[in-house]
Amino acid sequence: MVFLSNTFDAKNGFLGLLDGKRGKLTIEEAAGPVLERTRGNSCDAEDGTWGDVIRNGSPQVIADVVAEALVRGKEAAGPHPKLSCICAPLRWGDMPLGILLIDNPLPLSEERLTHVQAVATFISPAVAVIRSGEETSLNEILKRKLEGAIERMDLHTESHGDLMTEVISLVEKTLIRVALKKANYVQLTTARFLGINRNTLRKKIKELGISLP
């Protein structure tokens, strides 16, 4: 979470994961003077702006994140000014996974909104791998899959289309391999677990060059 915050020149942020069975959203990782103490906070997934982001699958700006139910009560001691943040959904196919939130210290720009959503997009497959039970440390998998790629980025001069495609493919391949193994290579079961249809799974297996026993 810290290296993601640094990438965006942001002081606060968190990663919230969805527990679909209980309908709860829980902050798993948090950083920054305002939000670091919110780790472990949870609320109903339908509450507040988070519910809109999860349902609609598109990023939104939250003008005062400290006023939201998920954050209230455990923020750093003392009063805080309003904290504007960008909240982007984490999704794998049609399956909602949670949210990525980064503060927005600068005037909002479409470029920043798009960049936050792009990072959320290639984090999502890694989060899905964690949910499969094969990965135990969120920090470990995010660091392994993303840190090297993000460190190579020059946010001001490079186009990251190829880099993001490469990272997304890498994490998708890992996710599908883990899911296939978990489902004993039954493709219908794997597809249901991943929240995609069987034809999409077959297409991904072929595109990514995944070997089957």
Domains of the chain: 2-208 (3.30.450.40)
Give the containing element (helix H, strand E) for 203.
helix 198-208
Integer Cα distance of 168 and 146 in angstroms = 10
Give residue 200's identity as a one-letter amino acid code: T
* Phi, psi angle pair for 210, to nearest 5°: -85, 125
Give the containing element (helix H, strand E) for 128.
helix 110-131
Instruction: Give the pair of three-digit tokens for residue 88.
Output: 């982007």
Integer Cα distance of 102 and 133 in angstroms = 27
Tell me which residue of 143, 98, 83, 102 sits closest to 14, measured CA to CA: 102
Q: pLDDT by residue for the chain (213 residues), tens digit each?
A: 555 555 556 788 899 998 867 789 999 888 888 888 888 999 888 888 888 999 888 899 888 888 887 887 544 445 666 788 899 999 877 788 999 998 886 666 677 778 788 888 877 877 776 666 554 454 555 555 555 555 655 555 555 456 566 667 777 887 888 888 888 899 998 888 888 888 999 999 998 889 888
Map residue 158 onto helix, strand or coil. coil
128 to each of 38, 92, 153, 172, how far by Cα in Å?
22, 7, 24, 9
